[in-house]
A and B are shown apart, each in its own frame.
Chain A
Amino acid sequence: MVQTLDTLRETPSQTAGPYVHIGLMPGWAGNPGAFETELGQTPAGDGAKGERIEITGAVHDGTGAVMRDALIESWQADAAGVYPGQDGADPAVSGFGRFAADPDTGLFTLKTIKPGAVTLPDGRVQSPHIALWIVARGINIGLMTRVYFDDADRDGDPVLSRIEQRHRVETLVAKPEGEGHWRFDIRLRGDGETVFLDL
């Protein structure tokens, strides 16, 4: 026999189900006021440094249908590429957003600031990006992906550079749609399937 490892296994995920909004966005579920304040309403509050942007898009299932019950969370650095909680972070940036697809159109909108590039401990630089985490009925474990920006230098990004099928990189790049507006669609399965991450 050998010694026994004393590590634990992670609790298994389960789908967030169709009523996830009750718990995380009660106002959306039709229960405004269930909590005095809902969390994640603005990743970047008044006075946050940086360029204000809006990212609009939809989550599509494997048949191409738009998902009207998806809930998304976002996490990002401030305009200088510093994450909230790290030294020197912009105090007006919480970094965390939570938003849902519109029940009629399936469109979501993330209103935030454009993050800066993030320098890794080994000196490599991650191109500006926003991490997204998608949950919904039918998704058994939350899906992690990233939004990059079409106008940024992305050649050295350590995540994008590891995507073997180069044409799939484009699934992570938001396209400009006028001043401060960006479009980012997520395809869960099939043609143009978004790259999902396990990091």
Chain B
Amino acid sequence: MTDTTRALGREMGRDPAPGPGRLIPRDLSAHPVPYDPDYKTSVPRSPSLPLLSLESTPTEETGPTFGHGDLGALDANLVLNWTRGEAQAIGERILVHGRVLDEMGRGVPHTLVEIWQANAGGRYRHKKDGYLAPLDPNFGGCGRALTDEHGHYAFFTIKPGAYPWPNRGNDWRPAHIHFSVFGHSFGQRLITQMYFEGDPLIDRCPIVATIKDRSQIDRLVAPLDLSHARPLDHLAYKFDIVLRGRRQSFFENRPEGM
């Protein structure tokens, strides 16, 4: 049968695409465990059977691309974008900036970074958030940006507040900003959360604690970056993100014999 489908593929004029290098297999020890009873929702929402691990294929090695035409002028400025520049959000004004890199340390250029967050009081502008802290009429809480040719990105926003959530009796999320990053292939897709240096709630958070490698938790904590603070205007935090890299193809052997 393999020969038939292969022949069929050729007949329809599809030449095999050149291999630009397989994705480096994911090191799952760098990530949270899927099942963690202290984060209660993970119990019914984590697979009980192992993932099927295989080498990447073009399905994972390709991915969507976005351009500046997809973005609005204020998309990366959360202080102003909800009111389209008419009024400013209330809270601690911060610049959040950093680089998107791959595991080889190369900057990932022209890739989409999306963020969302609560307001300064810990309230989300979402129809399902019923926390009693009020909405800020001048704050929406979403932003997006493309990295530049070196992989740099920057957002201007306000520092989000902590908020309570129904998990154990008295659980509070540390202040955090959610990050969604694409990279250049669908297999690099990553969603994570950025925390702020010095927040005492980080060590008490069961979502943070789903990451079992302490040194990996530190990678989510953005340091204060006074070098990028602007006097009499805003503070700054630096947050670098590392995505899966690609292996160089020195030898491409025949397919695995299975």
Contacts and interface: CB of A to CB of B under 8 A. Distances in A.
Query: From DSSP, what is the main secondary structure of chain A's interface residues?
Result: loop
Contacts of A22: 116, 124-126, 140-142
B28 A198 contact: yes
B55 interface: yes
Given A116-B12, A125-B6, A196-B52, A10 B44 contact: no
A88 to B, nearest CB: 9
B197 to A, nearest CB: 16
B14 A10 contact: no
Contacts of B30: 9-12
A159 B27 CA distance: 20
Given A188-B44, A193-B49, A199 B128 contact: no
Contacts of B14: 80-82, 116-119
B103 A8 contact: yes
Interface in B11-54: 12-19, 23, 25-28, 30-34, 36, 39, 41-49, 51-54
Interface residues of A, number: 94
Interface residues of B, number: 105
Nearest to B69: A37
Interface of A: 6-24, 26, 29-31, 34-37, 39-40, 61-63, 65, 67, 69, 73, 75, 77, 80-87, 94-96, 103, 116-127, 129, 131, 133, 135-144, 146, 153, 155-156, 158-159, 161-163, 188-190, 193-199
28 contacts: A6-B105, A11-B192, A11-B219, A12-B213, A14-B178, A19-B128, A20-B178, A24-B180, A26-B142, A29-B127, A61-B45, A81-B9, A81-B12, A84-B64, A85-B62, A119-B10, A121-B19, A142-B191, A144-B60, A156-B5, A156-B6, A159-B57, A188-B47, A189-B44, A189-B46, A195-B52, A196-B47, A199-B55
